[in-house]
Amino acid sequence: MSKHVAVLMGGWSAEREVSLRSGEACAKAAESVGYRVSRIDVGHDIAAVLAALAPDVALNALHGRPGEDGTIQGILEILRIPYTHSGVLASALAMDKAQAKIILAAHGIPVPEGRVVTRAEAARAHVLPRPYVLKPVSEGSSVGVFIVREDQEHPPQELHRPDWPHGDLLLAERYIPGLELTCAVMGGKALDVIEIQSAVRFYDYEAKYAPGGSVHILPARVLPKIYQKVRMLAVRAHDALGCRGISRSDFRYDDRTGDESGLFCLEVNTQPGMTETSLVPELAAHAGHSFGELVRWMVEDASLDR
């Protein structure tokens, strides 16, 4: 009898629409390789829904909170349902960008200089020398991210919105010019490195998920020593946070330096996107894994927290 896989998608985060696309793609792929699939648009009753459904495996295609921050992982642990991707602690750490940076830096992984500020501080005056980046501490998919340019006299006006939905803590970081690079880790081993060229001013939500929003260059056009350094750091970051399954680490590389001093890790994604424009399926395909094979690997790798 084939495994019964519950694909968790949707939810109520700012990344709901992307999660629905990731979940549907994964559900179709899982069906194509022989699994029995139940699609679940996650609501606040998810514990009761899962307890009644009793699947063999939960394929977690949620993005943002509560699916990526350890909350859903905790529910699945209590219900003893094996699940894909990272466990409770790794998910919570990676979702909190400020805490993740502390862990990464302690493991010798270069990260941009920065500090945590309140939204009120960031809205009132520049919190770092320009140019710098402002991002919510606990959001993904570049939701709520601003690049404050050298010629920008005032902080982003959007920060004054009374209905600002992304929390009151922001991470302010020095802007790293140059190349956007990303590398996935699958089963503890690094895949290849993609260089991302955005069709807009930076690799924001639209560039990530709109068709034509960005161009992916695989393999990335960097020196071999930088290419291998990215792969090594992606594995080190995956291990430092205690990730399992598949993760994806994002980097900036100031190629004017010509050496490793220009390379910085921005963040680790414990649940990378699985849409038609997503990076991990592209990296897996480059390594010889079809999308169906990738999803099968994720399902068979699912476990409870170790």
Choosing from 19, 68, 278, 282, the catalytic residue is 278
293 noted as active-site residue:
no
Catalytic pick from 22, 86, 91, 141?
141
* 270, 242, 262, 154 alpha-carbon torsion, rounded to 10°: 50
Listed by start position, the domains of the chain span: 4-84, 94-111+177-270, 114-174
Question: What integer pLDDT is reported at residue 207 of this predicted model?
Answer: 47
269 among annotated binding-site residues: yes
Domain at 94-111+177-270: CATH architecture: 2-Layer Sandwich (3.30)
Domain 114-174 in CATH 3.40.50: no
Burial label for 211, CB within 10 Å (0-12, 13-18, 19+), is: exposed
Q: Is 60 known as a binding-site position? A: no
Q: Give me the pLDDT at residue 203, please.
A: 46
| pTM for this predicted structure | 0.91
What is the CATH code for 4-84? Answer: 3.40.50.20
Q: What is the pLDDT along the chain (306 residues), one digit of tens a residue?
A: 689 999 999 999 888 999 999 999 999 999 999 999 999 999 999 999 999 999 999 999 999 889 999 999 999 999 999 999 999 999 999 999 999 999 999 999 999 999 999 999 999 999 999 999 999 998 765 678 999 999 999 999 999 999 998 889 999 999 999 999 999 999 999 999 999 997 655 544 454 445 556 899 999 999 999 999 999 999 999 999 999 999 999 999 999 999 999 999 999 999 999 987 799 999 999 999 999 999 999 999 999 986
